[in-house]
Amino acid sequence: MAKKFPLTPDGVKAFQAEWYKSDDQQLQDDAVVASADVIKWFSTHFELTTEQSEYFRGLPKGYLLSLGWGVASGVIGRVPLSFDNGQEASAKGLCPKAKVSVNVSVSNAYNWQTGAVTTTGTVGGTLTF
């Protein structure tokens, strides 16, 4: 998938529609990128504004590692993505200072009898600029 999408709620929905068309190997390769360098992963798939790009670069390394691992798990499992531009969250006082909130809930199960892997969950985020 070479097309970039805006990092907006609609852009994330459009990305997801294309992303689900990828084969398992493409998603696994993509997950490796996300786990190693989540900023690169976002930059590869989304048209980041200068403000968004600078903001990502200013996040603590430990947080970026955690975010990358969560995104990677979601990529492999094709879990639903959601994105909020943060206006509603800021209005509710949910993230007035942090400016970023990412929720990852992924569960993996392996059936040794059939070899089937089942992944469920969600990846959701809010960025406020």
81 against 114, higher pLDDT: 114
70, 102 contact by CB (below 8 A):
yes
Q: Which domain holds residue 53?
A: 5-127
Q: How many domains does the chain have?
A: 1
Q: Record the pTM.
A: 0.71
User: How much is the average pLDDT of 20-42?
Assistant: 92
Query: Which residues neighbour 125 within 8 Å (Cβ) at sequence distance 6 or greater?
Result: 82, 83, 84, 100, 101, 102, 103
User: How much is the average pLDDT of 97-108?
Assistant: 60
Where does residue 48 rank: exposed (0-12), middle (13-18), buried (19+ CB within 10 A)?
A: middle
Is residue 68 pLDDT above 80, yes or no?
Answer: yes
pLDDT, one tens digit per residue, over 106-116 is 676 777 788 88
Question: Which residue type sits at 118?
Answer: T
Per-residue pLDDT band for 1 (boundaries 50, 70, 90) equals low
Is residue 97 pLDDT above 80, yes or no?
Answer: no
